[in-house]
Amino acid sequence: MKALHFLVAILFINTLSAQNFTGKAIYKTSRKSTISFGKNQPGITDKMQEELKKRMQKMNQKTFILEFDKTTSTYKEDVKLDNPNPMAARSGVMVMSFGGSGSTDVYYKNIKDQTFSNKTQIMGKPFLVKDKLELYNWELSSETKNIGMYTCYKASYTKEVENISFSMVNGESKEAKTKETVTTTAWYTTQIPISNGPKDYQGLPGLILEINDGKSLIVCTEIELNPEKEIKISEPEKGKIVSKKKFIKIQKKKNDEMMEKMKSRKGVELGNGIQIKMGG
């Protein structure tokens, strides 16, 4: 297997140095919701719970665009405005989204320098998270499958992660933290010889077309190489500059504040144009 890894790496380097191209890849994402309410909650009927779950599931199904050249890329959501849902309002459960958290994010990667800049926000406050890219300990496999017209190879890595789930019990929000070992599986193609992929994923000898960590799935549905319309990739500049570690600390503080608000209300303003209300 080590010989296979070495051969793939050499072929990747030779192919990449011989080509100079740009491209655009479209990814569809979906994620399992961790929100639950339990049974017989005051003011929350089964119908209301079902409606809210459907709305949250829809919010977790998104489309993203990766624009790339040999060494840099930007990854951002392809935002479309949803039509108002009058049924949601009449059911007593209302989830309103105007762009939504993350809809204006731009994730910039510089593969050559192994750095990233993520333009994002927390409850409307802009941040620019700048740090080193994560080094994934990928294990390459000879297993293959086709995604569209591309032959893809399997790679995976395993790590321990902390999961945070939210629930509503007797009108109060509850937060539960658990740790588990998660295996993330990637499928990449050496037919597009760039060490890149969706979100912060990278480090394989070809473009990553699919990522699955058991809870979220990202699948490439369309690729356009060397498009007629010129692709210009630039690093985002606006926002308070913080490290990844600092941003996670700020994010946790804001989440804790939000949970405190939910304990004393039937609803909460999440920021970024998102509001959840339960009851009449």
Sequence-distant (≥ 6) Cβ neighbours of residue 189 within 8 angstroms = 147, 150, 151, 152, 153, 206, 207, 209
Q: State whether residue 245 is helix, strand or coil.
A: helix
Pair 175, 164: CB distance under 8 Å: yes
For residue 168, what pLDDT is reported?
A: 56
pLDDT at 171: 58
Q: Identify the pLDDT of residue 231.
A: 92
What global pTM score does this model have? 0.73
What does the pLDDT read at residue 197?
97
Nearest to 124 by CA among 99, 145, 156: 99
Profile the chain (280 residues) by mean pLDDT over runs of 10 residues: 44 47 93 60 65 66 94 92 45 37 85 96 92 96 96 95 66 73 96 96 97 93 92 93 94 80 54 44
> pLDDT > 70: what percent of the chain?
63
Enter the DSSP assignment of 214. Answer: S
Distances from the Cα of 249 to the Cαs of 106, 108, 134, 256, in angstroms?
Answer: 20, 21, 18, 11
Q: Are strands 62-68 and 35-36 parallel, antiparallel or unpaired?
A: unpaired
Per-domain boundaries in the chain: 2-278
What pLDDT score was predicted for residue 156? Answer: 97
Place of tokens 């802009």: 126
pLDDT confidence of residue 176: 74
